[in-house]
Chain A
Amino acid sequence: MDMIWIVIVLFAAGYLGSRFAFAKERLPALLRDTFLTGWEFIFIGMALGPLGFDLIDAERMGQLAPVMALGLAWAGLIFGMQMRLVDLKKVDRGLLKLTFFQMAVTGMVVFGIYLVMVAVGRSFGSSGLFAGAAVVAAASSISSPTTLSLIAGSYPRTSAPLFRKLLTVSTLDVGPALVAVGLVFCLFPAGGGGAFDLDRGTTLLFFSILIALALAGLFRYFERRQLKPEEELTVLLGFLALISGVALFLKLSPLFLALMVGVALANTLTRDDPVFAALFATEKPFYIILLILSGLLWAPSGGEMFAMAMAVMLARAWAKGVSVRIGADLFRPEGGMPRDGGLGLMAQGALALAIGINYVIVYPGDASRLAFGVIAFVVALNEIVAPFFIRQMANRDAASRKGGR
């Protein structure tokens, strides 16, 4: 398929899919919850790619890398632009500590499990081993607010505080994961074959921060003018393309670079709403495109990948449960957290896939393909089971509050 048809198909699918992916109210409950967050679009990607009709072959996928990087920069920017200090200060301290605690524990558990599995089963170099494990750990440590938000609407207002807390946790735990991914890309630079390199790593990290601040300053200085809507669109597109271009060129993480730019902008722009509104308006279509791209990139390498994915999934579920239980006792978030609150964090969502895609487009090779395959499989499985676990947890919480009256 020619490049232009690929772009047309992707964007048409993204636009159409975004209208239907979250509109499944009329389906029977079981079906609705199984496909709640639209993960079935991964299959469309698989059908288009080498696993299906091979309409988009490996060469074309390589040419899609800049488009994917643009999408990743967009995702990182939109996330970073939410991180205003003034808003973060409104979050209960106990909840904040719980968020990072559960994320760190889950990450470390998955890191260890994956590292051991790969060290035993494969013979990757240090990059494939440690960097791959770190990326899988980062993707596994995060949770997704999408499923929570879709389910929260079917619960009474008395459950709202619980869902609000879980939404906060599942939104904020992404930040450190993206930072971790960025650090991995610096310390295991793809340009140098992926081996650990502290010198180059610290140089890249320093200049990443410098470049991010310069880009934020560039956009900030732009934004003080009254731009016409089409001019604002041009500047935003150019800006996103520049972030993703710089990241791809230096083999850094577009997610990380864009995150830093977004955070700098969020805390310096006086009038960030129109920019945010423009980004937010394309959130759903981009999500669908991300799912399709994940399907395209997925290359299962036999039963070993499935076994690893199951192990990671179980380890993640256990770690989330245990860390939330311990964290709730340690940090005492305001209003408390149910002991099975970890069940509410089962969903992983789009940013986990974005982390995986980021890894695979910057680090070609078997290690990244394996890591991405594991991530994609785990995400899909978690998207299926998460609605059931969330409902279970919410029902128990509601029952315990009723019984407590």
Chain B
Amino acid sequence: MSDHRELFVCILNDPTAVEDVLAGFLEIGVTGSTIIDTKGMGKVISQDIPIFAGFKNLFAGARESNVTIFSVMATDLVDDAIRIVEEVHRSLEEPSSGIVFTLPVSRVKGIGGG
């Protein structure tokens, strides 16, 4: 495994897929991730037109629409991680499925070796 690391950021629009994604990460050796509930831009600015279900929108703060996974991992694991996301969830080429991007990490402390 290379010494170079990247911050892998994955925004999944299907929160129910996150457990399987994390299980897949474990299999390839990505042992640490942070998951937070988030809300997409479309959810904030779109005009949800209520017909039968207007009440839920009024208190929509209680419901989040997607999940963001942060994980610092070795560079050579990134391709596998993306593959896992697309296998478990669906192709990221499809609209509204999610997004993945990475950022180079120059320094990290607090994660295990490897």
* Residue positions of A touching B, CB distance < 8 A: 22, 75, 78-79, 81-83, 87, 90, 145-146, 149-150, 153, 164, 167-168, 170-172, 273-274, 276, 279-280, 283-284, 286-287, 349-351
Residue of B48, B50, B51, B53 ringed by the most chain A CB atoms within 10 A: B51
Task: Name the B residues within 8 Å of A168 (CB-CB).
Answer: 55, 58
Q: A145-B50, A146-B49, A167-B50 known; A274 and B16 CB under 8 Å?
A: yes
CB-contact partner of A78 in B16, B47, B49, B53, under 8 A: B53
Interface residues of B in 8-55 (CB under 8 A from A): 16, 47-55
The A interface is mostly helix, strand or loop, or mixed, namely helix
Quick one: which of B16, B47, B50, B63 contacts A171, CB cutoff 8 A?
A: B50
Evaluate contact between A167 and B49: CB separation under 8 angstroms: no
A22 touches B49 (CB 8 A): yes
Q: Which of B48, B50, B53, B55 lies at the interface centre, i.e. has the most chain A CB atoms within 10 A of its CB? A: B55
Q: Are B59 and A90 in contact (CB under 8 A)?
A: yes
B103 contacts A by Cβ under 8 Å:
no
Verify A172–B51 contact, CB threshold 8 A. no
CA distance A145 to B58 in the complex (A): 11
- Residues of B whose CB lies within 8 Å of any CB of A are 16, 47-56, 58-59, 62-63
Residue of A nearest to B47 (CB): A153
Residue pair A75, B58 in contact (C-beta under 8 Å): no
How far is it, in angstroms, between the C-alpha of A146 and the C-alpha of B49 when the chains are bound? Answer: 6
Quick one: closest A residue to B56, CB to CB? A82
Contact assessment for B59 and A287 in the assembled complex, using a CB-CB cutoff below 8 Å: no
A276 and chain B: residue at smallest CB distance: B56
Are B52 and A149 touching (Cβ within 8 A)?
no
Nearest opposing residue in chain B for A174, CB measure? B52
21 A-B residue pairings within 8 Å (CB atoms):
A22-B49, A78-B52, A78-B53, A82-B53, A82-B56, A87-B55, A87-B62, A145-B54, A146-B54, A150-B47, A150-B49, A167-B50, A167-B54, A168-B55, A170-B54, A171-B54, A273-B63, A274-B16, A280-B56, A286-B52, A351-B52
A168–B50 CA distance with the chains assembled, in angstroms = 11
A287, B55: Cα distance in complex, Å: 17
Known: A78-B52, A78-B53, A87-B56. 5 other contacts (CB 8 A): A90-B59, A146-B51, A167-B58, A280-B53, A286-B52
Contacts of A274 in B (CB 8 A): 16
Question: Least Cβ distance of B13 to chain A in Å?
Answer: 11
Residues in B whose Cβ lies below 8 Å from that of A78:
52-53
Docked Cα-Cα span, A153 to B46, in Å, equals 10
B54 touches A149 (CB 8 A): yes
Taken together as a complex, chains A and B put the C-alpha atoms of A346 and B71 apart, in Å, by: 52
> Contact: A171 with B55, CB < 8 Å?
yes
Q: Which chain A residues lie closer than 8 Å to B63 at the CB level?
A: 273
Which residues of chain B come closer than 8 Å to A284, judged between CB atoms?
A: 49, 51
Most buried by A among B48, B51, B52, B56: B52
Chain B residue at minimal CB-CB distance from A88: B55
In the assembled complex, which residues on chain B have CB atoms less than 8 Å from the CB atom of A164? Answer: 58
- Whose C-beta in chain B lies nearest to the C-beta of A168? B58
A83 adjacent to B50 (CB under 8 Å): no
Contact assessment for B51 and A283 in the assembled complex, using a CB-CB cutoff below 8 Å: yes
- Least CB distance from B15 to A in Å reads 8
Is the CB–CB distance between B51 and A287 below 8 Å?
A: yes
